Amino acid sequence: MRVATPSLDESLPASVPVGPARRKPLWREPYVLVIAGAALGALAGALWPSVAVEFKPFGDAFISLIKMTIAPLIFLVVVTGIAQVGDMKAVGRIGVKAFVYFEVVTTLCLMFSFVVVRWVQPGVGVARATSQQAEAVARYSQAHMESISAYLQHMIPDSFVGAFARGEVLQVLVLALLCGIGLLLLGERGQPLRAGMERITELVFSVVHVVVLLAPIGAFGAMAFTVAKFGLATLYALALLVGAAWAMMAFFIFVVLGAICRMAGIRLLDLLRMLRTELLVVLGTSSSETAIPGMMEKLPAAGVGRAVAGLVIPSGYSFNLDGVALTLPLSTMFVAQVYGLELTPTQQLGIFGIMLFTSKGAAGVTGGAFAALAATVIAAGLPAEGLALLLGIDRFMSLARAITNTIGNAVAAVVVAKWDGEFDPGLWSAKLAQLETAK
C-alpha cells in the first residue's frame, strides 16, 4: 500500500507542536465567501441588470486564471505519478479500469436520460425557434469533432508546446502519458528530473492557492451576468426541461453515485464534504474545470493513489462527463419533440450510438456541452435551428452539468483507486476526522 503525500496546507515542520485546531471565523471560510459572492451577484443581476451584465469579465477572468494552471498541473501530476508507480503494467492496468468504469457509467447515464425524456416529454407544445434565433446557433455547429478519425487525430498534439499553448486537456494528457512512461524507462537516471518536477508541482499548487482566493469575486461576476442577461422570465417556457434536467441529475448523484460509493465502501456525503469548496466554486462559475486543481491535491491527501488521481481525473474530463451524458438525450429529444418528430426505435438507437461518441471530449467549461449537443442534433438529422431555443437556458443547464461532471469524476477516482488497491483507508479516515475537528 502506498503512502500519499499530505497536501501543502497540511504539512507542518517537525518542530511545530500540533494542538487543537483553531476554528476560522465562519465569514473567513472559503465556501462561505463563495456562497456570499454568488448570492450578491444574483441580487445585483436582479436589481441592476444593466450594470450587472458588465460584471461578466470577473467570472471570465477567474475561469481563465484557473484554466491557466490546468495544463501544467495535469502534466506534472501525471508524469510524476506514473514515475512513482514504477511499473508499466500498473499504468496500463489503471487506464483499462478507468476506461471500463467510464463507459459503464456514461452508457447508464444515456439510457436513463432516454427513459426520462420519453416520460416527461418537455418539448411538446413549445414554440419553434425563429430564424433570428437560429442564426445564434450557427457558430456552434462545427465546434465538435465530426468523425472518430478526426477525434483521434485531434488527441495528438502537433508540437510539444502546442498542447499547452492551446490548453487542450486531452492533448496534454497524451503528452504527459508519453513523458511519464519515458521517465519511468529512465530508471535511476531519471530520479533528479523527477525530484525537480515534484518541486515544480508544489509551485503550481501554490499558484492555485493564490488564484482560489479570487473565487468569491469570480462567482459574483458569473452569477451577476447570468441573472442580468437571461433573467428569471426566460425560464418560464422551458421550466419543465430545466426542472427535469436538475431532478434527473440530482437523482443520479444521490442515488446512483451514492450506491456506487456504498459498493466501494465510502459515503458519498463524506466525499462531498471533503470537496465542498471546489463544488461551490463549480456551482458559482458553471465550470467543472475549476475543480481539477483542488481534486488533484485533496484526493491524494485523503488516500487516493497519486497515479490514479493523475490518470483518472484529467481523462475523466474527456471520457466521463456524466452531466453531459445525462442532458444530451434530454435536449436532443426535446428538439425532436418541439418539431413534432416521432422517432422510431431504430432512429433512437442510432442517436444513442452517436451520443456514445459526442458525449466524449466536451470541454469542462460552459459552452462545450452545447457544442456536443449541436454535433449530436446535426449528426442525427434533426432541425439544427431548434438548438436556438436552448441557448437562453444553457447557462442554467450548465450549472447542473458542471456539478454532476465534477462529482462523477471524484467518485470515479475513488472507485478506481479502491479497485486497483491504491487507496489508503487510514488517510481517508484521518482526513474525515480533520474535517470534523475543523467544524
182: domain CATH number is 1.10.3860.10
pLDDT in tens, 26-81: 666 666 777 788 788 888 888 888 888 888 888 778 777 877 777 787 788 778 77
Residue 229 lies in a domain: yes
pLDDT value at position 363?
47
State which H helix or E strand residue 406 sits in.
Answer: helix 388-420
Supply the DSSP symbol for 386: G
Dump the DSSP string for 129-164: PPHHHHHTTGGGTTSS-SSHHHHHHHTS-SSTTHHH
Rounded distance between C-alpha atoms, residue 51 and residue 53, angstroms: 6
pLDDT value at position 90?
66
pLDDT value at position 438?
65
- Distance (Å) of CA 325 to CA 110, 138, 168: 5, 22, 21
Rounded distance between C-alpha atoms, residue 1 and residue 105, angstroms: 27
Residue 185 lies in a domain: yes
Residue 8 lies in a domain: no
pLDDT value at position 8?
34
Residue 427 lies in a domain: yes
Which domain covers residue 276, as residue numbers?
26-437
pLDDT value at position 3?
38
Rounded distance between C-alpha atoms, residue 99 and residue 106, angstroms: 11
CA atoms within 13 Å, Cβ hemisphere of 356? 11
Residue 1 lies in a domain: no
C-beta separation of 409 from 279 below 8 A: no
Backbone angles phi, psi at 23, to 5 degrees: -80, 130
Count the helices and strands in the chain (H runs, E runs): 21, 0
Rounded distance between C-alpha atoms, residue 49 and residue 55, angstroms: 10
Supply the DSSP symbol for 385: G
Q: What's the length of the chain?
A: 439
pLDDT value at position 151?
58
Residue 7 lies in a domain: no
Residue 6 lies in a domain: no
Residue 377 lies in a domain: yes
Q: Which residues pair with 423 in a beta bridge?
A: 304
pTM summary value? 0.66
pLDDT value at position 49?
83
Helix (H, G, I), strand (E, B) or coil at 304: strand
Decide: residue 170, CB within 10 A, 0-12 exposed, 13-18 middle, 19+ buried.
Answer: buried
- Please enumerate in sequence order all residues whose Cβ is within 8 A of that of 225, keeping only pairs 6 or more positions apart, or say none: 41, 45, 52, 53, 55, 56, 59
Rounded distance between C-alpha atoms, residue 397 and residue 399, angstroms: 5
pLDDT value at position 9?
39
Rounded distance between C-alpha atoms, residue 410 and residue 106, angstroms: 14
pLDDT value at position 235?
45
Structurally, the chain folds into a number of domains equal to: 1
Dump the DSSP string for 62-97: HHHHHHHHHHHHHHHHHHHHHHHH--HHHHHHHHHH
**How big is the CA angle at 191 (ends 189 and 192), to the nearest 5 degrees?**
100
- Give me the residues of the chain with pLDDT under 70, please: 1-31, 84-91, 123-152, 154, 167-170, 226, 230-238, 357-372, 375, 378-380, 384-389, 391-395, 438-439
